[in-house]
A and B are shown apart, each in its own frame.
Chain A
């Protein structure tokens, strides 16, 4: 069997091209509603519950999400499900308690570093803004690459130069409609994408279960370790207790404070809606991981039963494991439906990019440039700067995303780059909201300490015989511990003279 054989045909290409033009039309159509900065960044805080759920799911269910989760399933089997379960429980806990998000929405901030200023002063906001933008933009760095791999696997089109051009064109389209329509166009596209992709994923799962068989799905393939296929804590697994601990911390921190997701809570009509949003979203957070992981598991079972495919993933010239799922669905999902599913995936690609571009550009404008200019910028000027930043980030992504190779597995890269920002932000926000003694010095120490997570991307983390204390996961867990210690010790040793208004 040809590795890149596919059911993707001309009709599928037509479906994809027609479908991806819709967001552009929406961006142009809603432009007239964007009159002020809050319309652009938080849709004038007009998001009601169901639209907020759709846009949250649309943002957090991107093509890259499908790719890294299917890769986890492909490599680790059902044991990867623990990541989904932990994340879903954390999101549910945030929704039921209102942990962090309720207070942030009450304070009517538009970005997370805006809270830093209210609580710890302008300097902390600028530092926090720089670190947030750095971690966030780096985190987006491999989205294009993952998208290109999906494209190759599904369409069977393996000319690298052509793919790069195609992905560049996709990114340019995203830039245009995000620059034009801001958050209003983002939420409408997210809604459309949520519905199309969700239906596509559910039907796609039917094809996969039908092809593999429900009972066969739970039989352990001969090529894998018998215990670690199901048990994430087993010694043979890629996971283990440190990894599970890291997932708990990351899920709680990212659930409450990942700027693109938190932006939905901040755009919610009321603080109560922000809480409800998280409660309901625990289901979509579970699905965004479980369904792609299932596809990855199905892909591995299929590959392990097909010697030609199995060989392609072995040896020194082995295909990247991200190819497992797209190669699999290209062979089992029928023509026409494959086009719809691919269109849904590209819509997902676009909706994640638009939200992330909007998030990081608004952080640069609101939390770095405006405070440096001592808030003398007009609303109109901020809108212009935000739009320029969107384009600049887009250019960076084109260069970084298309020409650099992933240093570690896709999910680990995302988790580690996320930790650069999340570790500092989590400790600063938790302490800032719930601990009166938290001081600005402690906050600055914590934010800088978060940069230690970059060590998790170093060359010492790669290879087969890496000591446990040099792994990216251990470095990330240690970063959280150091950051929290820095926040506590710094606050106790250097208390603020004045208590901020927001803690009263």
Chain B
């Protein structure tokens, strides 16, 4: 088994996949935060 090739692949894959994930989560996360506050505001109103 060629460990060097395996670890090179793991390293490149990590950089590539993680960069994409950070971009997707950034935009998706902002949308989710707005939705979470809508839910919490409704829940706070109901409990009053």
Q: Among A42-50, A150-158, A339-347, A381-389, which stretch is in contact with chain B?
A: A42-50
Does B29 lie within 8 Å of A191, measured CB to CB?
yes
Does B18 lie within 8 Å of A284, measured CB to CB?
yes
Chain B interface mostly: helix
Does B18 lie within 8 Å of A287, measured CB to CB?
yes
Does B36 lie within 8 Å of A280, measured CB to CB?
no
Does A36 lie within 8 Å of B47, measured CB to CB?
yes
Does B32 lie within 8 Å of A50, measured CB to CB?
yes
Q: A53-B21, A198-B22 are in contact. Are A39 and B43 (CB under 8 A)?
A: yes
In B1-30, the 8 Å CB interface with A consists of 3-4, 7-8, 10-11, 13-15, 17-19, 21-22, 24-29
In A170-197, the 8 Å CB interface with B consists of 184, 187-188, 191, 194-195
Q: A51-B29, A81-B7, A191-B29 are in contact. Are A199 and B14 (CB under 8 A)?
A: no
Q: Is A497 interfacial (CB-CB < 8 Å)?
A: no
Q: A33-B44, A205-B15, A286-B17 are in contact. Are A48 and B36 (CB under 8 A)?
A: yes
Number of interface residues of B (CB under 8 A): 33
Which residues from chain A contact B13 at a C-beta distance below 8 Å?
A: 286
Chain A-chain B contacts (Cβ-Cβ < 8 Å), number: 109
CA distance A78 to B32 in the complex (A): 37
A218 to chain B: closest residue by CB:
B4
Q: A231-B3, A286-B14 are in contact. Are A50 and B44 (CB under 8 A)?
A: no
Which residues from chain A contact B29 at a C-beta distance below 8 Å?
A: 50-51, 53-54, 191, 194-195
CA distance A78 to B37 in the complex (A): 43
Does A51 lie within 8 Å of B32, measured CB to CB?
yes
Which residues from chain B contact A370 at a C-beta distance below 8 Å?
A: none
**CB-defined interface of A279-291 with B at 8 Å, one 1/0 digit per residue?**
0100110110011
Residues of A within 8 A of B (CB): 32-33, 35-36, 39, 43-44, 46-54, 57, 78-79, 81, 84-85, 184, 187-188, 191, 194-195, 198-199, 202, 205, 218, 230-231, 280, 283-284, 286-287, 290-291, 294
Interchain residue pairs A-B with the least CB separation, the first 8 = A50-B28, A51-B32, A230-B3, A287-B18, A48-B32, A46-B39, A78-B7, A33-B40
